[in-house]
């Protein structure tokens, strides 16, 4: 059965009302009565969806989008497909944030549990053999599989699903997430909070509602006090068998492949993709929207700023192939040694008696 989702959607709204809510102007020829029922990315949009473009990097997606409407900067109006109504605005990302707030108002203050309900909501479904320690809160329509243990003080949000034979550590918080079997979630983990998304501007920073989920597959282990943000429009995903250490931050829309190892204090920025069997050393991190290829290894305290090929070993900041970094460091070492030798062997100053 398809998951019911975590946010109730309002609408549909006529395009004219969407334009007012987003502060945009309808392009000539756009039908103000066109009904819009959702906000989606360019690649996922349908004829009844609104999307946006604010970066020329995504022009190829704009060319092929099926969106019924698109928020667009005046400079890019000519690139909008004929079947897509253009909503013209100098700040498409701000308009996108306002569109999300229009269609998903509950995403601004998501509900974890029903006010006034018992600590374990009567609509929650717990299979036989689930162990619940004192102080646990379980929201409405949550589902928990047999053999799973929820430790003291943990919070399981509305409609969260957790598979069988899992362990959910003390004082952890899980919302807007679907978790597979045999997962180990250590104490203080935060899963499913909204991602760090703001439409920045001189007049202040507009919060962008986050309506995605977190998908965690089977046999994943997540260390204490790690945080995994839910997706903005799409899902944040952690592949089966992946092991995540303590104090790791994983941003919205990140995709982590199978059997990856992510060591303590890593920071993985939004929309980064890790292939299978990737290793991220301690205190390493990535910028957003890059891909780390299958089997790649990122050294401790290293920070790639561009895509990393499969099987590569990168080190440094900005991270480079390990051999290249090693040669540079060896060269610097020789130059320093040569400079020191020149200083030691040079003429000595004299002083009067």
As beta bridge partners, residue 243 has: 221, 261
Tell me how far apart the alpha carbons of residues 187 and 179 are, in angstroms, rounded to a whole number: 16
Alpha carbon of residue 281 to chain centroid: 20
Tokens of 154: 């943990």
Tokens of 265: 């204090």
- Give the Cα separation of 337 and 95 in Å (integer): 58
The DSSP code sequence of 117-168 is S-SB-TT-EE-TT-EE-TT-EE-TT-EE-TT-EE-TT-EE-TT-EE-SS-EE
Are 68 and 36 spatial neighbours (Cβ–Cβ below 8 Å)?
yes
Residue 218: alpha-carbon gap to chain centroid? 19
Q: For the range 112-119, what are the long-range contacts, defined as Cβ-Cβ under 8 Å and sequence gap of 24 or more? A: 112/137, 112/139, 112/155, 112/157, 112/158, 112/173, 112/175, 113/137, 113/138, 113/139, 113/140, 113/155, 113/157, 113/158, 114/139, 114/140, 114/158
Structure tokens at 288: 């957003």
Handedness of CA 30, 32, 34, 40 (dihedral sign): positive
Query: Within a 13 Å sphere around the CA of 318, how many CA atoms are in the beta-carbon half?
Result: 6
Which secondary-structure segment (H or E) carries 71? strand 69-72
The full DSSP string for 98-122 is HHHHHH-GGGGS--SS-TTS-SB-T
Which of these is catalytic: 252, 259, 303, 306? Answer: 252
- 303 an active-site residue? no
List the catalytic residues.
252
């Amino acid at each position: 059965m398809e998951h019911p989702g975590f946010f109730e959607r309002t609408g549909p709204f006529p395009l004219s009302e969407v334009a007012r809510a987003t502060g945009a102007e309808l392009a000539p020829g756009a039908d103000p009565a066109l009904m819009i029922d959702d906000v989606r990315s360019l690649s996922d949009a349908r004829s009844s969806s609104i999307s946006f473009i604010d970066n020329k990097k995504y022009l190829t997606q704009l060319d092929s989008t099926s969106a019924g409407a698109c928020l667009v900067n005046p400079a890019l109006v000519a690139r909008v497909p004929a079947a897509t109504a253009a909503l013209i605005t100098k700040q498409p990302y701000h308009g996108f944030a306002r569109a999300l707030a229009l269609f998903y108002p509950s995403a601004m203050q998501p509900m974890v549990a029903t006010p006034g309900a018992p600590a374990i909501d009567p609509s929650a479904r717990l299979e036989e053999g689930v162990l619940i320690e004192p102080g646990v809160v379980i929201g409405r329509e949550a589902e928990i599989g047999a053999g799973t243990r929820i430790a003291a003080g943990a919070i399981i949000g509305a409609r969260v699903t957790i598979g069988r034979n899992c362990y959910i550590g003390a004082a952890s918080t899980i919302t807007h997430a679907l978790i597979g079997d045999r997962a180990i979630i250590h104490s203080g983990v935060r899963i499913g909070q909204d991602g760090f998304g703001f439409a920045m501007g001189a007049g202040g920073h507009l919060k962008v509602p986050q309506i995605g989920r977190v998908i965690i597959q089977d046999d994943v282990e997540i260390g204490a006090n790690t945080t995994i943000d839910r997706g903005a429009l799409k899902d944040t995903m952690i592949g089966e068998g992946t092991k995540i250490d303590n104090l790791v931050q994983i941003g919205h829309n990140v995709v982590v492949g199978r059997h990856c190892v992510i060591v303590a204090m890593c920071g993985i920025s939004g929309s980064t993709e890790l292939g299978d069997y990737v290793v991220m050393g301690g205190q390493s991190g990535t910028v957003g929207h890059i891909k780390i290829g299958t089997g790649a290894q990122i050294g401790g305290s290293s920070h790639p700023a561009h895509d990393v090929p499969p099987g590569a070993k990168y080190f440094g900041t900005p991270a480079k192939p390990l051999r290249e970094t090693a040669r540079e460091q060896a060269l610097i070492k020789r130059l320093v040694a040569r400079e020191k030798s020149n200083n030691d062997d040079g003429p000595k100053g004299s002083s009067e008696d």
